Amino acid sequence: MEILMIILSGILVTCGVYLILSKSLLRIIIGSSIISHAVNLLLLTSGGLKKGASPIYEKHQQVYADPIPQALILTAIVISFAVTAFFLVLAFRSYKELGTDNISDYKGVPDDE
Amino acid sequence: MMMNNLIVFPIIIPAITAIILICIGKKPILKRIVAFCGTLITLFITLFQFIQVFNHGTMVLTLGNWKIPYSIVLVSDMLSALLVLTTTLITVIMIYYSYQSIGIERETYYYYTSVMFMLTGLNGAFTTGDIFNLFVFFEVFLISSYVMMIIGGTKIQLQESIKYILVNVTSSAFFVLAIGMLYSVIGSLNMADMSHKIHGIQHQSIIVICAILFIFVFATKAGMFPLYFWLPGAYYAPPIPVLALFGALLTKVGVYALYRTYSLFFSQTGVIVHNILLILALLTIIFGCIGALAYHDMKKIIIYNIMIAIGVIIVGLVLFTKDATIGGIYYLIHDMIIKASLFMLIGIIMKITHETDIRKLGGLIKDYPLLGVTYFIAALSLAGIPPLSGFYGKYFIVKAAMQEGYIISAIVILLSSLVVLYSVITIFLHVFFGTGQTYVKPAINKMMFAAVTMTVIAILFGVMSESLYPVIEKAALSIHSPETYVKALGVK
């Protein structure tokens, strides 16, 4: 099961990197959020995927899943959600201001000479 | 081990101030007063904490009274206390400097709020003893740095902050990945506990992979050699006070995180990690030197000087002897102070002349002698001329490099000082001498006061290095012998 998850998140990272390397700003944002999905899946896998109940205490339950990765993922999801929201608004704003969503048309810092 | 609630205050007081600042609305003068008072209170508390840590040793606070590997701990050893004090001091002076330089529009829209949240994140990152909590505090100050970078919304800021945010989002994702990998091997998140368990593992090869992943993440945040590409552009875009805060503080957190993780987790991984870090640090110095020599733009020259300093500090870490870490910490503190002071002075020159190209400037010494003298002293201090502050750090690092037989590293560091001196003195000669132009004289007295204060602090740091030596030695202790850090937390 772990092997399958690792391959899956490998594929997700591949897709994310491919999208980040493209020129359209929206594709880049989709790529970065796909990478954060992959990382969250990997974090879940890192605790081990053995069989067990969800970590809510019950009297006759013996084995539980590892609760720590779940708490970590919950935090990581919220953070990446906030950053993605900020990034999307920034993309909207720069499309209005600069009139393009093509990264290679951005000529930011003036060159010497 | 000393339990004390004092550790929390440098983190929560800026956070509370930031929340108050959100509620104030659009009253810039009131915001100035609240922000200044908030940081001043934080400064007094950090000073008190610093003295406490110096007298009584490492302070530890387990949040919620849970036992140590199970809860988040805040640890304030000498290094953390020193860095928290320096950070807060720089923020206080930078807020005073912002009064005349940031502009009233930006002040109205949450500029001070972002500064306070950034201070929260920085102080938190310096004091935390938990690796995932370190990630969270990284995100706290990164998100406020995004806001500070974009605030104002000019075209160059929009373009550059997109790149900055993309790089940081990616490297944060890899930070989470690295934590996940380390957790699956070690099964713990408390840094002292992890250190203890990592040193008990027989096969270090998986730890080497984790180490390289961590180096990738923190090198991106700190702007080291192959991963510095975002730094010159991104730091060029925002206005000067923001640039000064970023240049003085943000990259240094990456360096601090490298210091902690390398000394606690990866100090026994052997020759591979050691060599990678050493070569990257030397290349960082060399590429920083090339950048500092290549440009005629004041901001760009100083931005590339940040890279040189980062390289030197990392060399101090990699050598990993007592002398080398002492040198690294001297240089880290010196560099935070002097970079803040140099950016402030450059900001004043830009405010007077509205120009950053040094070839178009000249003759400022007649009208602004104090500015000229302060800049000259700051420049000499940056290069490391003996009575001033940059000397001791480099002296210790070069001495350690010679003793350990790293002759090439020592030569590169010494030659880089020459390049640093040349680049900043070029600015001095072009801007302050030569044919003068006529300028409209704007009000700069508050900015000038802040810049002079910062430079005086840098001079004092140089002159008093002898008496500061016990402090730095204590701070270096928890880096070059991580067992003391682990022992202070009572991990068995």
Query: Residue B64: what pLDDT?
Result: 87
Give residue A112's pLDDT band: very low, low, confident or very high (50, 70, 90): low
% of chain A exceeding 90 in pLDDT: 62
Query: Residue A27: what pLDDT?
Result: 94
Using the Cα atoms of residue B259, residue B264, residue B265 and residue B268 in order, give the sign of their dihedral. positive
Residues with pLDDT less than 50, chain B: none
Chain B nearest-CA residue for A20: B166
One-letter-per-residue 3-state SS of A10-76? HHHHHHHHHHHCCCEHHHHHHHHHHHHHHHHHHHHHHCCCCCCECCCCCCCCCCECCHHHHHHHHHH
**Are B233 and A109 inside 8 Å of each other by CB?**
yes
Query: Residue B39: what pLDDT?
Result: 95
Query: Residue A34: what pLDDT?
Result: 95
CA atoms of B67 and B104, how far apart (whole Å):
49
Sort out which chain A residues have CB atoms less than 8 A from B158's CB and list them.
90, 93-94, 97-98
**Are B180 and A42 inside 8 Å of each other by CB?**
yes
Query: Residue B1: what pLDDT?
Result: 52
**Are A112 and B161 inside 8 Å of each other by CB?**
no
Q: B453, B239, B268: which is closest to B350 by C-alpha?
A: B239
CB distance from A86 to chain B under 8 Å? Answer: yes
Query: Residue B402: what pLDDT?
Result: 93
pLDDT tens for A58-81 read 888 888 888 999 999 999 999 999
Higher pLDDT, B183 or A107: B183
> Which of B177, B189, B296 is facing A112, going by the closest CB pair?
B296
Looking at the DSSP bridge assignments, the partners of residue B399 are none
Query: Residue A113: what pLDDT?
Result: 58
pTM: 0.94
Query: Residue B492: what pLDDT?
Result: 67
CB distance from A1 to chain B under 8 Å? Answer: no
Sort out which chain A residues have CB atoms less than 8 A from B172's CB and list them.
79, 83
pLDDT tens for B152-174 read 888 889 999 999 999 999 999 99
Collapse the DSSP code of B26 into the 3-class scheme (helix H, G, I; strand E, B; otherwise coil) and give the result: coil
Chain B (164-223) residues lying within 8 Å, Cβ to Cβ, of chain A: 165-166, 169-170, 172-174, 176-177, 179-181, 183-184, 189
Residue type, A77: I
**Are B179 and A20 inside 8 Å of each other by CB?**
no
Query: Residue B294: what pLDDT?
Result: 92
Query: Residue A98: what pLDDT?
Result: 87
% of chain A exceeding 70 in pLDDT: 97
